[in-house]
Chain A
């Protein structure tokens, strides 16, 4: 188990050095960002089984915070990261508290509605840049502004963040908290009757998820140097997180990463092949993938792999 993991890690570290070209670096950065967001979503959506369809709100908050501290305080954007986390935690509480005592659907609907609410509000609020959006520093004033000419530093920062997130998720999964999550996901009522503090656990999971999604958002806006309501809070942001995690296998540790490894290059490729003709094929593809997943393999590729691998293992000896 350790060896493949080490190999994987080595591959990721070496990738930008092997494919040493800004465009491929950027794809790598996008891939890592997608993996981080999806893995963050995975905590509440996969492990806890509470499907958030509006997770973009946490991403957006995390994305706006650095741009705001830069705009109003002339501070390095990275200072906004803890601010984003704090706000996201608060929002998680506001949403989670009322909805987690109700059926799962309410939570899902609440996530869409609140995400839309925030998006509309931000697009009308002048102090938040309104629809025009906010820009970060055009040129870095020092290394702390994190404006790099090359994509490479971003790549390694994102890689480190992903590694940290996956490690924390792994530890969580192994702990009693992880056990509670699995119980809740399997059968909420049964778990409650066994003494699992269901509401508290769900809330905690949402908060962890929100915090990391916020970090992902901050990384995005720092790297892109620009944020507006659509790229921060748009529906597509939420959908990307969800489909990436679900495709690879929600509720598994590496599922989101697998999803990202498939979807990000696929997206870039379809854009290259079809982009010029303008047919919007990418999203039809997304929709189709999601429907097929739901219909045939809701556990995503992770589950599919598990079954296939299982069949191999169950070979009679000799």
Chain B
């Protein structure tokens, strides 16, 4: 039971950063290979804030969100906007190269040492009927779910959201309606990167990391997005929880080595059987 809860809490965080990836994919038919690195950077922002400004979780989460959102916009305007209309090679290479750049720049700046936030845990541990829930993990999971749902609400219930979706649906038509696709796409990048940043900050509260975690998170995000269906934020939520759960269960039953393998194998199976995922449209 403990295993299940742990898996779901982690899965919620997966859902949060994958939601951003699926948003970009759905809107612009573009895969961000550097998404994992955004999460990783969020973690380092949290560390920097704690070490240099002495802030707490709320502070560094906001700063992580802001910093990454800004990065997202910067990346969009300097890079993505130009390659999006070009050959596939350029599109894939662009964020792939960006991922390498960010990851190894992090190695340079922060060194390869594994780091974690200075406290053992924020706020102690609750014991609910035999299941131990560290407050930090619980908080992270809940916040992650809330934010993911919030993102979905933003997209479907607000004016800004409908503009974003309009551009996703049909760029030309949206332009005709007076919506500026460039701005909307930049906004999407800001949201996606910001979400990744917060996800990173949330994870930093409970787990140690190093610059190389971006690679694993990136792949996890891919699998979540494929499972959930491209472009679907609710899909990302369900898929994230499922993947988190699946990982935890396979680690428990089969052994920790297999937990990543199971996820990738699931991915391969999805490609064969149902590439549009649970809630996506082909």
Out of B31, B79, B215, name the residue touching A108 (CB < 8 Å). B31
Docked Cα-Cα span, A124 to B31, in Å, equals 30
Query: Which residues on the A side are within 8 Å of B88 (C-beta)?
Result: 49, 51, 104
Out of B93, B97, B222, name the residue touching A113 (CB < 8 Å). B222
Query: Which A residues have a C-beta under 8 Å from some C-beta of B?
Result: 45, 49, 51, 53, 98-99, 102-106, 108-110, 112-114, 116-117, 120-121, 124, 235, 239, 242, 246, 250, 279-281, 283-284, 286-295, 298
**Closest-CB distance, A137 to chain B (whole angstroms):** 30
Docked Cα-Cα span, A21 to B223, in Å, equals 48
Query: Which B residues have a C-beta under 8 Å from some C-beta of A?
Result: 25, 29, 31, 33, 78-79, 82-83, 86-94, 96-105, 107-108, 215, 219, 222-223, 226, 257-258, 260-261, 264-265, 267-268, 271-272, 275
Query: Which residues on the B side are within 8 Å of A291 (C-beta)?
Result: 79, 93-94, 97-98, 101
Given the known interface contacts A284-B108, A286-B100, the answer about A294 and B91 at a Cβ–Cβ threshold of 8 Å is: yes
Considering only CB atoms, which chain B residue lies closest to A250 in the complex? B89
Docked Cα-Cα span, A121 to B255, in Å, equals 13
Query: Which residues on the B side are within 8 Å of A51 (C-beta)?
Result: 88-89, 92-93
Query: Which residues on the A side are within 8 Å of B219 (C-beta)?
Result: 112-113, 116
Contact, CB under 8 Å: A116 / B264: yes
Given the known interface contacts A99-B271, A294-B83, the answer about A283 and B260 at a Cβ–Cβ threshold of 8 Å is: no
Considering only CB atoms, which chain A residue lies closest to B261 in the complex? A120
Of A235, A294, A295, the most chain B CB neighbours within 10 A belong to: A294
Contact, CB under 8 Å: A284 / B104: yes
Contact, CB under 8 Å: B93 / A117: no
Contact, CB under 8 Å: B101 / A49: no
Out of A45, A49, A53, A121, name the residue touching B261 (CB < 8 Å). A121
Out of B79, B104, B260, B275, name the residue touching A295 (CB < 8 Å). B79
Out of A113, A124, A235, A284, name the residue touching B267 (CB < 8 Å). A113
Out of A99, A102, A235, A293, name the residue touching B97 (CB < 8 Å). A293
Contact, CB under 8 Å: A280 / B261: no
Of B98, B100, B222, B261, the most chain A CB neighbours within 10 A belong to: B100
**Can you spell out 10 A-B residue pairs with CB atoms less than 8 angstroms apart?**
A51-B88, A53-B92, A99-B271, A109-B222, A116-B219, A235-B215, A246-B93, A287-B98, A294-B79, A294-B93
Contact, CB under 8 Å: B104 / A109: no
Out of A103, A110, A279, A290, name the residue touching B93 (CB < 8 Å). A290
Query: Which residues on the B side are within 8 Å of A116 (C-beta)?
Result: 219, 260, 264
Docked Cα-Cα span, A112 to B78, in Å, equals 26
**Closest-CB distance, B103 to chain A (whole angstroms):** 8
Query: Which residues on the B side are within 8 Å of A284 (C-beta)?
Result: 100-101, 104-105, 108
Further pairs besides A99-B271, A291-B94, A293-B97: 18, Cβ < 8 Å: A49-B89, A51-B92, A98-B275, A110-B267, A113-B264, A117-B264, A117-B265, A120-B264, A121-B261, A239-B100, A284-B101, A287-B97, A287-B98, A287-B99, A288-B101, A289-B97, A295-B79, A298-B86
Docked Cα-Cα span, A116 to B268, in Å, equals 11
Query: Which residues on the B side are within 8 Å of A281 (C-beta)?
Result: 108
Query: Which residues on the B side are within 8 Å of A121 (C-beta)?
Result: 261
Docked Cα-Cα span, A284 to B211, in Å, equals 13
Considering only CB atoms, which chain A residue lies closest to B266 in the complex? A113
Docked Cα-Cα span, A280 to B87, in Å, equals 30
Contact, CB under 8 Å: A298 / B97: no
Given the known interface contacts A104-B88, A287-B101, the answer about A298 and B93 at a Cβ–Cβ threshold of 8 Å is: yes
Of A103, A109, A120, the most chain B CB neighbours within 10 A belong to: A109
**Closest-CB distance, A70 to chain B (whole angstroms):** 26
Docked Cα-Cα span, A280 to B265, in Å, equals 32
Out of A280, A295, A298, name the residue touching B107 (CB < 8 Å). A280
Docked Cα-Cα span, A124 to B260, in Å, equals 12
Out of A109, A114, A298, name the residue touching B89 (CB < 8 Å). A298
In the A-B complex, the 8 residue pairs with the smallest Cβ-Cβ separation, listed nearest first, are A290-B97, A287-B101, A287-B100, A298-B90, A294-B94, A291-B97, A117-B264, A294-B93
Given the known interface contacts A49-B88, A113-B219, A291-B79, the answer about A120 and B257 at a Cβ–Cβ threshold of 8 Å is: yes
**Closest-CB distance, A248 to chain B (whole angstroms):** 13
Of A45, A105, A239, the most chain B CB neighbours within 10 A belong to: A105
Query: Which residues on the B side are within 8 Å of A280 (C-beta)?
Result: 104, 107-108
Given the known interface contacts A49-B87, A102-B275, A291-B97, the answer about A108 and B260 at a Cβ–Cβ threshold of 8 Å is: no
Given the known interface contacts A121-B261, A295-B83, the answer about A105 and B31 at a Cβ–Cβ threshold of 8 Å is: yes
Docked Cα-Cα span, A287 to B222, in Å, equals 21
Query: Which residues on the A side are within 8 Å of B258 (C-beta)?
Result: 124
Docked Cα-Cα span, A289 to B92, in Å, equals 14
Docked Cα-Cα span, A264 to B258, in Å, equals 36
Query: Which residues on the A side are within 8 Å of B226 (C-beta)?
Result: 106, 109
Docked Cα-Cα span, A242 to B87, in Å, equals 15
**Closest-CB distance, A12 to chain B (whole angstroms):** 28
Docked Cα-Cα span, A43 to B108, in Å, equals 35
Docked Cα-Cα span, A99 to B271, in Å, equals 7
Query: Which residues on the B side are within 8 Å of A294 (C-beta)?
Result: 79, 83, 89-91, 93-94, 97
Of A120, A279, A295, the most chain B CB neighbours within 10 A belong to: A295
Docked Cα-Cα span, A114 to B260, in Å, equals 11
